[in-house]
Homo-oligomer: A and B are copies of this chain.
Amino acid sequence: MKQKSITIYDIAREANVSSATVSRVIAGNYPVSEKTKKKVFDLIEKYDYQPNAVARSLTKKESKMIGVILPDITNPFFAQVFIEAEKYALTKGYTLILCNSMNSSELESKHLRVLSERQVEGIIFMGGRINKTYPEVSEINELKYVIEKIPVILVNGRMETLECPSISTNEAKGIELIIDHLVKQGHTKIGLIGGMTGITTTDIKVEAFRKSLEKHKLAAVNSWQIYSGYDVKRGKEAMEEMLKVNKHNLPTAIIGINDLVVIGALKLCHQKKMNNFSFVGFDDSELTQNSIPEITSVSHPYKELGEKAVDMLIKSKTTDVKAENLFIDPHLVIRESTI
């Protein structure tokens, strides 16, 4: 049952001033006599007057809202970035609208439209489907179209078909950190499992994997790098293949493309009673601390990702931010799995 709330006019009337004056008192950006100021503030307090943000948005043509589109908030990576972004946005007077696309381009388009109609001032876009094989041409166009009207920033994603600013974890650096650590631990035989070719984030990691091995003058055995996918099941499968193919020459340390893949590999090893591998994950999700053993993992610069994304969008209201691609270094969290 709706109920009308009091407006700036109610305050103005009772204070015997005009609405303009009340507005000025609240904004505080214009000289108002101390006497009126007090009168107005007292009334605001008395009635607990709250300005109507919708009306304000309309006149000021700024909604103070930012949209966030991501595949699935259940994924700890996205959740963490979102939380940081939200925390920061709040301090800047912005409100976030979260949209789960569930990896459906249809939903994505729908959300894009809703956000645009709601006059969000910018959109933070995260998701694995953003890569060079980005499949839906129709959707690129939709997104391109939106980008022309609303500032969009990609987090941990690149669209090679689209010019759009982005901010990402320096994943190559992450892989390098892992390998440096493993080498220091005495490993010389290192494998990599999970991911898919063609997906930007995988490609970056695989390339960094090769380069880092080279840096340490270690052999890059082809069969020690196995694509499979991104979830627990895929991790298990990859590990299964690893054991089969390299029966007589197994690596001693294995890097997973993300934490889930490592969980899968760990499960398989547990079943087979093979506890002789060192494992390293990527994302530093909660999983790493809950598994047995706890998993060494690369932690994303969550705070920076969330804050910078919001910041860039706010800035692009006034400045013409060029489509730059920012990278931030991650760090390695060492746990039981590599000791």
Contacts and interface: CB of A to CB of B under 8 A. Distances in A.
A50 B117 CA distance: 6
Instruction: Bin chain A's interface residue count.
Output: 35 or more
Given A74-B76, A83-B74, A232 B52 contact: no
Given A96-B98, A118-B95, A54 B50 contact: no
A97 B100 contact: no
A119 B52 contact: yes
Given A73-B79, A74-B80, A119 B320 contact: no
A117 B51 contact: yes
A185 to B, nearest CB: 22
Interface stretch (A131-139, A217-225, A289-297): A289-297
Nearest to A99: B86
Contact of A86 (B83, B100, B286): B100
A74 B283 CA distance: 14
B50 A58 contact: no
Pick the 5 closest A-B CB pairs, nearest first: A53-B117, A53-B118, A98-B98, A74-B79, A54-B57
Given A50-B116, A52-B119, A287-B290, 10 more contacts: A48-B145, A50-B113, A53-B117, A74-B286, A86-B98, A86-B100, A90-B114, A95-B114, A97-B98, A98-B98
Interface of A: 1-3, 5, 48, 50-55, 57-58, 61-63, 72-74, 76, 79-80, 82-83, 86-87, 90, 95-100, 107, 110-111, 113-114, 116-119, 145, 149, 232, 260, 263, 266-267, 270, 286-287, 289-292, 316-320
